[in-house]
């Protein structure tokens, strides 16, 4: 799709009435902090995109080949995705270095997303209610085509 700007951008913010202020304050209310919030913040750092690129170039744990082919294009089998997920989870548990732990978490959720999108399979023990906001948050912090994969998995 070709992007075109919304050219009717207002110069200033509109008047903030009570209902609007309330709505925006509510946007500031956060639930309990989740482990994935660390990953989202890592992805949103100035070098987040290059960090993710480096993680993906290494390939998902336990599997060789371009991550885009395996996860986005759907070339990985369901068994391979389960293996990636389990190995990522292991990495997440064992390794305490933050970036490695977060890389494991990224692969973990990408494998889950790929399983949902390409195989219609839920390979995580998490409920959909728990998983959907996590996938949407990750989608909103990742570049294309990962954003679309994660958003597609969120349904």
| Site of interaction with other proteins (CB under 8 A) | 1-6, 9, 13-14, 16, 18-30, 33, 40, 44, 136-137, 139-141, 147-148, 151-152
For other proteins, the closer CB: 100 or 136: 136
Least spacing, CB of residue 71 vs other proteins, in Å = 18
* The CA-based dihedral angle spanning residues 70, 54, 112, 108, taken in that order and rounded to the nearest 10 degrees: 130
For other proteins, the closer CB: 39 or 84: 39
The residues, ordered by sequence, that sit 6+ positions from 150 with a Cβ below 8 Å of its Cβ are 109, 110, 113, 135, 136, 138, 139, 142
Least spacing, CB of residue 46 vs other proteins, in Å = 9
Least spacing, CB of residue 3 vs other proteins, in Å = 5
For other proteins, the closer CB: 85 or 137: 137
For other proteins, the closer CB: 6 or 57: 6
The residues, ordered by sequence, that sit 6+ positions from 110 with a Cβ below 8 Å of its Cβ are 60, 67, 71, 84, 146, 149, 150
Least spacing, CB of residue 120 vs other proteins, in Å = 18
* Rounded Cα gap, residues 30 and 68, in angstroms: 33
Beta-carbon-side half-sphere exposure of residue 7 (alpha carbons within 13 Å)? 2
């Amino acid at each position: 799709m070709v992007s075109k700007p919304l050219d009717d951008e207002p110069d200033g913010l509109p008047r903030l009435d009570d209902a609007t202020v309330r709505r925006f304050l509510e946007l500031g209310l956060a639930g309990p902090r989740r482990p994935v919030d660390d990953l989202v913040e890592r992805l949103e750092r100035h070098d987040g995109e290059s960090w993710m690129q480096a993680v993906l170039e290494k390939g998902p744990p336990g599997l060789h080949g371009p991550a885009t082919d395996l996860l986005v294009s759907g070339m990985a089998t369901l068994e391979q995705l389960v293996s990636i997920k389990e190995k990522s989870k292991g990495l997440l548990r064992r390794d305490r270095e933050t970036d490695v732990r977060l890389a494991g978490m990224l692969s973990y959720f990408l494998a889950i997303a790929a399983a949902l999108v390409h195989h219609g399979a839920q390979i995580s023990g998490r409920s959909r209610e728990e998983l959907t906001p996590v996938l949407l948050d990750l989608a909103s912090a990742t570049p294309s085509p990962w954003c679309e994969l994660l958003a597609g998995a969120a349904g």
